[in-house]
Structure 1
Amino acid sequence: MIAHSHVVHDLACQYAALRPVDRELVSWGAALHDIGRSQTHSLAHAQIGADICREYGLPEEVARIVECHIGAGLTAEECRAEGLKPIDCVPHTPEEKIVAHVDNLVRGTTIISIEERLETATATLPDIIVRRIAALAADVESL
């Protein structure tokens, strides 16, 4: 988990360096994106991680990056269907989008292509989620 977070952090910082975004926010969000895995490895780790960030008084912008990093995010209804708090966890800010996209490009500690991620996603996730991951990638790459 820590090695994965290092790779996500470094790649997210590379993306941020080339875009008009808050680089410090991307750095913090990427470093902490999987902090909720200290309590669970389920989908709930994103919401739990955001709660941990809030409990420690970190800025809400960092908590939202952590909360929205799963795939290309989850709508409130998708969260409800997964047994999570029914809140919007879709990345909206450029910083949230960068961390979510980069996390999709890191399998363990290996950086993969978006095509590889989409191939894996197609085999395991609903089409709407796969399309959202592809749209997120296109959005981030165009920033």
Structure 2
Amino acid sequence: MREEDCIGLLRRAGCSGGVIAHCRAVRDLALAYASDPLINRDLVETGALLHDIGRGVTHDLCHTEAGGEICRSFDLDEAVAAIVERHIGAGLTADEASLLGLTPRDCMPRTLEEKIVAHADNLVKGTRVIALEERLQHAIALPRRQRKRIRRLAQEMELFR
């Protein structure tokens, strides 16, 4: 999907200019991890541009679920909806989602494309790329297993950069 089409969908979903700028920054970083021929670069680009589409509805954790629903209502590929639903931190297990008041379903990134977008989003604060250490400082209130998961995802993804 072309960038202009993705930006149009973000606007249609009610996303602000700040959210759109963030999505572009995540896309730019995500593409730096998508040079391996096994990776679907078009899917990474589309997923990264649309990963926060749910922020047109809410800015809490529910933006992932809302975003997945929006993607499906726009008849987007299920692979894009999966990226949107699985991009929080390094993913959430069904139990973790339930404890956070979300639908109790597995939202762990599985594919390389899902992992790349989640990792890139972890390293972009606003439109600024940050170091993993800074990201982990922002995540200090998270349970230890979630912080470890973020670090493991980063280690795995850095092999693709």
Q: TM-score range by the shorter chain?
A: over 0.9
- Secondary structure of the corresponding residue to residue 105 of structure 2: coil
Tell me whether 1:65 sits opposite 2:105 in the alignment.
Answer: no
Q: Residue 80 of structure 1 corresponds to which residue in structure 2?
A: 98
Q: Residue 66 of structure 2 corresponds to which residue in structure 1?
A: 48
Q: Aligned partner of 1:13: which letter?
A: L
* Whole-angstrom distance in 1 between the partners of 2:124 and 2:77: 25
| Coordinate RMSD, CA, aligned | 1.1
Q: Residue 133 of structure 2 corresponds to which residue in structure 1?
A: 115
Tell me whether 1:131 sits opposite 2:148 in the alignment.
Answer: yes
- After superposition, the C-alpha distances for 1:7-44 in whole angstroms (9 at most, x for unaligned) are 00111112112563000000110000000000000100
Q: Residue 4 of structure 1 corresponds to which residue in structure 2?
A: 22
The unaligned stretches of length 5 or more in structure 2 are: 1-18
Range with bigger deviation, 16-25 or 78-87: 16-25
- After superposition, the C-alpha distances for 1:72-128 in whole angstroms (9 at most, x for unaligned) are 111111111111111110101000000000000000111001111112212x21111
- Secondary structure of the corresponding residue to residue 13 of structure 1: helix
The unaligned stretches of length 5 or more in structure 1 are: none
Q: Number of paired residues?
A: 142
TM-score by length of 1: 0.95
* Whole-angstrom distance in 1 between the partners of 2:37 and 2:132: 19
Q: Residue 94 of structure 1 corresponds to which residue in structure 2?
A: 112
How many percent of aligned residue pairs carry the same amino acid?
54
Q: Residue 15 of structure 2 corresponds to which residue in structure 1?
A: none
Runs of 4+ deviating beyond 6 Å: none
Higher helix share: 1
* Whole-angstrom distance in 2 between the partners of 1:97 and 1:89: 11
